[in-house]
Amino acid sequence: MTDSIYPHIVKVQAKLTEIAKSHTAKVKGLNAQGVPYEYSFAYADLSDIMPIIRPILAAEGLGVIHQMAEGVLNTRIIHEDGEYIQTSTVMPTFSDEQRMGTWLTYLRRYHITGLLALATDADADGTTLSDLDDASPAKVSEETAEWFAKLKEQYEIKDDFIPFIAEDENIMSVDDLPLRYEQRLRAGVAKIIKQRKAEGGQRSEG
């Protein structure tokens, strides 16, 4: 990959208009102090996003490709000359194919909106996420919490990983992890899995 794709991405972003957020999600729970919180937000799903961005991407010679390889979902925005930008997420193991399909749809949306810096989530009840104070902070999504729980068991991730990610020894559970740490959580898990796989390869060679 070279930097030649970036001017095309910039042009795409300049052409993108606001995407209608036709779905609503509600989040509620208890924070670390036991104080209940609840908020809702509107969002655009993949069926809202793709019809809008596909022709804009195509006008710049760009397309979207999703590929599964060795348990990792890779999403690329690729230019017709072969250059691309990419993001990846390790997939948990599912016995339920329907649940697996739901997760793939969620991650495709997550990847595409991240690569194009699309704002597809918005508060639906007048309270922005930044307005939520320490008494009721926005937490990582249920999907992310489930994703971490499965990979934590699968790759034997230690219990002190969440306090490390949060930089707070009082935050012991992913369910209490503030939303602002979600990207750091995903990056940290990916690094651990890469290390585990490398260690496994070294043991097999020995």
Q: Quick: pLDDT tens for 190-201.
A: 888 888 888 775
The angle at the Cα of 142, spanning 141 to 147, to the nearest 5 degrees, equals 100
Other beta carbons less than 10 A from residue 97's beta carbon: 8
pLDDT bucket at 33, cuts 50 / 70 / 90 = low
Q: Which of 35-39, 77-81, 135-139 has the lowest mean pLDDT?
A: 135-139
Q: Give me the pLDDT at residue 32, please.
A: 56
Alpha helix segments (H runs only) across 116-160: 142-154
pLDDT digits (tens, 9 = 90+) for 145-180: 888 888 888 888 888 888 888 888 888 888 888 877
Rounded-to-integer distance, Cα 96 and Cα 104, Å: 13
Q: Which of 39-43, 139-143, 158-162 has the lowest mean pLDDT?
A: 39-43
User: φ, ψ for residue 168 (rounded to 5)?
Assistant: -155, 110
pLDDT bucket at 143, cuts 50 / 70 / 90 = confident
C-alpha dist (Å) from residue 185 to 9, 57, 149: 26, 30, 12
Mean pLDDT score across all residues of the chain: 80
Instruction: Give the CA radius of gyration of the chain.
Output: 19
Tokens of 133: 């104070």
Q: What is the mean pLDDT of residues 15-26?
A: 79
Q: Give me the pLDDT at residue 75, please.
A: 95
Q: Say whether pLDDT at 115 is over 60.
A: yes
